[in-house]
Amino acid sequence: MSEKLKIAIAFAIVYIVWGSTYLGIRIAVHDLPPGLMAGVRFVIAGLVLLGVGAAMGKRGPATRHDWVSSSIMAVALVVLGNGLVTWGEQWVESNQAALLITTGAIWTTWFGTFGAKAQSVSRREKIGIAIGLVGAALLLWPRSGLQFEYFAGQLAILGAPIAWSIGTIYSRTYPTQMSPLMFAGLQMLLGGLMLVLYGILAGELPRWQWTFNGIAAMAYLTIFGSCIAYGTYVWLIQHTTPAKLGTIAYVNPVVAVTLGWLVLDEGLAGTRLIGAAVILAGVTMITWRPLRKRTAKPDS
């Protein structure tokens, strides 16, 4: 199999699987409580990734900084970055959840202007941030008959990419020497344990229902969403360019919206449709990099 074909297959896996996780969460939380479902998912996925990494001889946590950094990232990326999405999708449609998550590029760019390794933002990126925020406001625009739980779910999901972006900036500012596979596995395990504890304290145990749809959706999220797709993404980081990886931000919401419409008959119209288009326009302005003419002599 050629390298190009391997890369194409890897992108297809990430596009389809990560784009479908919003649908999987929506189905899972219909029968399973959000905290326990997400917690069990990430505990299992974390143990699998740590086991695979150990078998491959990858570097695990060896210093206090490794454990502190993993714990902070577990809170930012797993407990908040995923836990808020899972909680919010009890009321919010999977397609809108995916579109709100695309604001992550906006928050990461904005927050990246602060801290020890602050990066300047171009005029185009500033415009993109402003456009993206307008789009998010349109998605959150109150509609007639809107229930408080729905609006709270929207805010929770919007908080997820904010937490994820803060974690990303922290990881960039204070990197560890752990392998990406072991680092992600430890984050998932620690974050999963925190979510399980939250679920128990929140009284979610009586709400757990052993239904086929709920367990199948959780199994899909665990095996495909957290293990296979993430492992594929780590492989892509080493075999393709950041620009191509950036296409995930555009394709995932398209997959999510399509699957939500096909499987759950979710619609997207009015101000929400306009908001979705505005957000994607803002993300495009932030992440798009124009091609430049090559002036240097090609490598021999």
Quote the pLDDT of residue 142.
66
Tokens of 156: 């929770």
Q: What is the mean pLDDT of residues 71-87?
A: 95
Quote the pLDDT of residue 189.
97
Lowest-confidence segment of 167-181, 190-204, 245-259, 275-289 by average pLDDT: 275-289
Q: What is the DSSP letter of 240?
A: S
Tell me the C-alpha to C-alpha distance, in Å, between residue 120 and each of 124, 127, 172: 12, 14, 15
pLDDT over threshold 70, residue 298: no
Lowest-confidence segment of 79-83, 156-160, 179-183, 274-278 by average pLDDT: 274-278
3-class DSSP state of 294: coil
pLDDT over threshold 90, residue 239: no
Quote the pLDDT of residue 115.
62
pLDDT over threshold 50, residue 238: yes
At 92-114, the pLDDT tens digits run 999 989 888 888 777 877 777 77
Whether residue 135 contacts residue 279, with contact meaning beta carbons closer than 8 Å, is answered with: yes
For a pLDDT cut of 70, what percent of the chain falls above it? 91
Whether residue 121 contacts residue 272, with contact meaning beta carbons closer than 8 Å, is answered with: no
Tokens of 276: 């979705």
Lowest-confidence segment of 37-46, 76-85, 141-150, 279-288 by average pLDDT: 141-150
Whether residue 46 contacts residue 190, with contact meaning beta carbons closer than 8 Å, is answered with: yes
Q: What is the DSSP letter of 174?
A: S
At 105-151, the pLDDT tens digits run 778 777 777 766 667 778 888 888 888 888 888 877 766 566 889 88
Q: How far apart are CA 18 and CA 229, in angstroms?
A: 7
Q: What is the mean pLDDT of residues 194-214?
A: 96
Mean pLDDT (the chain) is 86
pLDDT over threshold 70, residue 242: no
Quote the pLDDT of residue 23.
96
pLDDT over threshold 60, residue 294: no
